[in-house]
Amino acid sequence: MRVRFLAPFASSFVRNGLQRWLAAERAGLGVVLEFSLNGAKVMSPVSMKNPGDQLVISLRLPDQTAMMNVDATVRWGNHHTFGLEFTAVSQLAETHMRKFLSRAPSIQA
């Protein structure tokens, strides 16, 4: 059983690697709907339908002043919602994430 957390908070993202230059939509804003240490579900007007696309997502968790950047891979996409798996998280970012998750309401999947 996976535990995810309801999260609505703002984020921004930019494609990473070659897709950063080739894609029509290179960057965008979104709302993180669900969040865990391993990834996130994001809603955005920018469509991210291609599993495997690499992104850098900037997160500002509620009640935390510093933004953090996390490398992520698109795992699924559906219209204007997509799922991300975090692939590189700094130790400081993980500490902030754990602090946020300790206070957030969870949902079971």
What pLDDT is attached to residue 100? Answer: 85
CB contact at 8 A, 9 and 103: no
And the tokens for 16?
């990473």
Q: Evaluate the CA torsion angle 2, 44, 57, 88 in order and state its sign.
A: positive
pLDDT digit of tens for each residue in the chain (109 aa)?
455 666 688 898 988 765 544 555 668 899 999 999 999 999 999 888 789 989 999 998 887 888 899 999 999 999 889 999 999 999 999 998 888 888 766 665 5
Residue extents of the structural domains in the chain: 3-101
What pLDDT is attached to residue 22? Answer: 52
Amino acid at 4: R
* CATH code of the region 3-101: 2.40.10.220
